[in-house]
């Protein structure tokens, strides 16, 4: 058993549709237990792409910024 088997990766994201899928897939390939993308009220397809790549997505109803998005991930 690896430490990654119990590792949760939190990714705050704002309009990252071009990169979020690859990052989520890479983290999962490395063996982390779960990837959570905190979608900071993106106006593009960040949430759906992250979900399709295997992440759990928490979508914020308003833009809060990186640190509040990370804190949301901690609460998750």
pLDDT tens per residue across span 32-68: 999 999 999 999 999 999 999 999 999 999 999 999 9
Residue 63: count other Cβ atoms within 10 Å of its Cβ: 12
14: which residues sit within 8 A by CB, 6+ positions away? 39, 40, 41, 42, 46, 63, 66, 69
Q: What is the pLDDT of residue 70?
A: 96
Task: Place 72 in a pLDDT band, splitting at 50, 70 and 90.
Answer: very high
């Amino acid at each position: 058993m690896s430490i990654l088997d119990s590792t949760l990766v939190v990714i705050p994201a704002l309009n990252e549709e071009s990169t979020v899928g690859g990052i989520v897939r890479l983290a999962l390939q490395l063996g982390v237990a779960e990837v959570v993308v905190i979608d900071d009220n993106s106006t593009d397809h960040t949430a759906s792409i992250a979900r399709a790549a295997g992440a759990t997505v928490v979508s914020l109803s308003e833009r809060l910024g990186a640190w509040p998005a990370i804190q949301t991930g901690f609460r998750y």
